[in-house]
Structure 1
Amino acid sequence: MTDLVVVSLEAWDQVWRRNQHLVARLLEDDPELRVLFVEPPADPLHDLATRRRPAGAHGPAPAGFGGRLLRFRSLKPLPRRLDPRADERLALAVRRAVERVNLHRPLLWINDPRAADLARSTGWPTLYDLTDDWLTADRPVRERERLRRGEEWLLANARAVVACSAELVRRKAPLRGTIDLIPNAVDVVSYRRARPRPADLPAAAAVYMGTLHRDRLDVDLCVATARAVVGRGSVVLVGPNALHADDTERLEAAGVSLLGARPRDEVIGYLQHADVLLVPHVVTPFTDSLDPIKLYEYAAVGRPVVSTAVAGFRDTTDPRVLVASASEFPGTVASMLPAKSRFPEGTDAPAPDWDDRAAAMRAVIDRMRRP
């Protein structure tokens, strides 16, 4: 396998997402493979404006696998409206990082459609991995236009395109033709190995696991659910908090426990010991494009689930999943607290494993390498 440059929508951190699971398995399977994992650029002005601690840039730094995995984050000192050449500068920074670590004509794996300039300027064989329909997300007009231009170029010019959901394939196929469907999955063995109960998990807990973001999370529904379960248990949100400060304050005032991000191995304990697992997502064209990783993680631990009618959960035949309207959701969760069953009950159902998804991605990459 050739070397890879992976341009990600998230940092390589303690919270593992799709591309980390896939990249890790590719590295395990090929001892000659090297990967430069390109994180979103540091944006100190945006961090200050949103009351977050500013992140810094860093050069290629080892992140595991005997130095074969390197992380890189460039710097975006000014907003694009003040620096029209920002994307050009970011692409140049990645090219210099590649030269610094002696990757030779790597394959480019793009999650972020805004990285189309990098593919266009280098000519590196490109894989576009569609994980979200960003054109339907709530974004400023200027940002949406940049996303549209980048995605149209990638759909027309990438050597291969894969998507995590059948809905994404359906939406994007008219602009591309062939798109390989590679859904998400779960590390089945890890999620079915018993873990200790986390010390900060309340005695009776309705748990949501995932990044807290308005693109997905229905904050009003979380507040209503927290109020409905008073005296029965607590609503617990586990994951990175990307909400505005006002939303965070509303949740905390309603009694929601916001525990923040947890390392990938620790999150399993929160899921196994939950009384009920929650999917309080908004239902929008954006969320309808998703293949939620939590669909597979929740299934693997066998706990009961209450979800709004979002993609994946509304279509499952898993009898442990209850789909509720926004008006029914809080009462349904309250009626299930405390739980009448405990892990590992319900963990005998089949679940797709990341090993199988990595094999499918490897087949696409191998196909790209052929003349």
Structure 2
Amino acid sequence: MNCDVVFIAMENWDEVWRRNQPVAAGFARRSRDHKVLFVGLSIDASHLIRKGRFVRLARELWRTQLARPEGFENIYLLNVVKVMPNSLAWGRAFNRWLERRQIRRTMKRLGISQPLLWINPHYAVHLLGKLGERAAIYDVGDDWTSFPQPSEWLRQLVIAEDVELTERADATIVVSDRLHEMKRGQARKLRRIPNGAYLDRYTPIRLRSLPRHPVARNWSSPVFGYT
């Protein structure tokens, strides 16, 4: 794909690859002349202050270089700093303004313009139209609207954000038939892409000669687990 990509993820980039990392890595490998900005979890400044972790807070606030995952020279990792509690409406609004500012500043620093905006979390709906993106994709990994919330206000907010993001995104990707049914009347373009697995990584386990656990002794092969 002939453009830069900004990923808004629900997790940080680490050794456990979930749904976002393979997609981001695929973009980076196919378009080595383009950049991928991977935005992970926010750094909670108020939490670090309460815990007395001032050194880490200072390091994050004055970080001069973006981290890059091993093996990828064109993927850059960013964690924006959140300073107010999201439980307060005005605090959430301020955090979102600050997040947009930090992402735009990083994009300018990297020379990223008119990227493809790839969004995982429903709460990133406020980024639509604010990053100069050429198109936006909402990648829905679960039915966030069915998750229990600590308050009715927050439950309604999640539902509203999910619907708005589905309706405004140029394309919506879902992982299941159930989500496809839910989004069919909302999304502009809708595609179902189920989760997969790197089978070659399980080969050493499949070929090992260790005896099975008694619980799995009579199970048919192959046996896969998920945690």
SS of the counterpart of 2:185? helix
- Distance in 1 (alpha carbons) for counterparts of 2:200 and 2:25: 16
- Distance in 1 (alpha carbons) for counterparts of 2:28 and 2:201: 19
Deviation at 1:147, TM superposition (A): 2.5
Deviation at 1:153, TM superposition (A): 2.2
Find 1:133's aligned residue among 124, 143, 154.
143
What pairs with 1:182-193 in structure 2 (closer than 5 Å)? Answer: 182-193=193-204
What pairs with 1:317-332 in structure 2 (closer than 5 Å)? Answer: none
Partner of 1:34: 35
Cα distance, 1:168–1:62 mapped onto 2, change above 3 Å: same
- Distance in 2 (alpha carbons) for counterparts of 1:139 and 1:61: 33
Deviation at 1:97, TM superposition (A): 0.9
Asked if the contact 2:7/2:119 (under 8 Å) is kept, the reply is yes
- Distance in 2 (alpha carbons) for counterparts of 1:142 and 1:86: 18
Equivalent pairs: percent with the same residue?
26
Partner of 1:74: 80
Find 1:340's aligned residue among 192, 212, 217.
217
Partner of 1:15: 16
Deviation at 1:31, TM superposition (A): 2.4
Asked if the contact 1:64/1:70 (under 8 Å) is kept, the reply is no
Deviation at 1:111, TM superposition (A): 0.2
Asked if the contact 1:36/1:60 (under 8 Å) is kept, the reply is no
- Distance in 2 (alpha carbons) for counterparts of 1:178 and 1:66: 31
- Distance in 1 (alpha carbons) for counterparts of 2:72 and 2:185: 42
Computed over aligned residues only, the root mean square deviation of the Cα atoms, in angstroms, reads 3.2
Partner of 1:114: 123
Deviation at 1:117, TM superposition (A): 1.1
Which amino acid in structure 2 is aligned with residue 346 of structure 1? Answer: S
* Per-residue deviation, residues 102-124 of structure 1 (Å, max 9, x unmatched): 11211100001111111132341
Deviation at 1:275, TM superposition (A): 4.2
Asked if the contact 2:7/2:117 (under 8 Å) is kept, the reply is yes
Cα distance, 1:92–1:10 mapped onto 2, change above 3 Å: same
Partner of 2:68: 62
- Distance in 2 (alpha carbons) for counterparts of 1:96 and 1:195: 47
Larger Rg belongs to: 1
**Aligned positions, number:** 211
- Distance in 1 (alpha carbons) for counterparts of 2:141 and 2:40: 16
Which amino acid in structure 2 is aligned with residue 120 of structure 1? Answer: G
Which amino acid in structure 2 is aligned with residue 103 of structure 1? Answer: I
- Distance in 2 (alpha carbons) for counterparts of 1:42 and 1:180: 32
Asked if the contact 1:91/1:115 (under 8 Å) is kept, the reply is no
What pairs with 1:1-371 in structure 2 (closer than 5 Å)? Answer: 1=1, 2-46=3-47, 57=60, 60-80=66-86, 81=88, 83=91, 84-124=93-133, 125-140=135-150, 141-176=152-187, 178-194=189-205, 275=212, 336-337=214-215, 339-340=216-217, 346-347=221-222
Which amino acid in structure 2 is aligned with residue 165 of structure 1? Answer: S
* Per-residue deviation, residues 79-126 of structure 1 (Å, max 9, x unmatched): 021623211211111111111111121110000111111113234111
Q: Which runs of 5+ in 1 are unaligned?
A: 198-271, 277-335, 350-371
- Distance in 1 (alpha carbons) for counterparts of 2:48 and 2:181: 36
- Distance in 2 (alpha carbons) for counterparts of 1:183 and 1:162: 9
- Distance in 2 (alpha carbons) for counterparts of 1:130 and 1:76: 24
Cα distance, 1:273–1:145 mapped onto 2, change above 3 Å: farther
Cα distance, 1:131–1:273 mapped onto 2, change above 3 Å: farther
* Per-residue deviation, residues 156-212 of structure 1 (Å, max 9, x unmatched): 211111111111111122222541001100011121234898xxxxxxxxxxxxxxx
Asked if the contact 1:7/1:39 (under 8 Å) is kept, the reply is yes
Which amino acid in structure 2 is aligned with residue 63 of structure 1? Answer: P
Asked if the contact 1:42/1:73 (under 8 Å) is kept, the reply is yes
- Distance in 1 (alpha carbons) for counterparts of 2:210 and 2:98: 47
Cα distance, 1:31–1:145 mapped onto 2, change above 3 Å: same
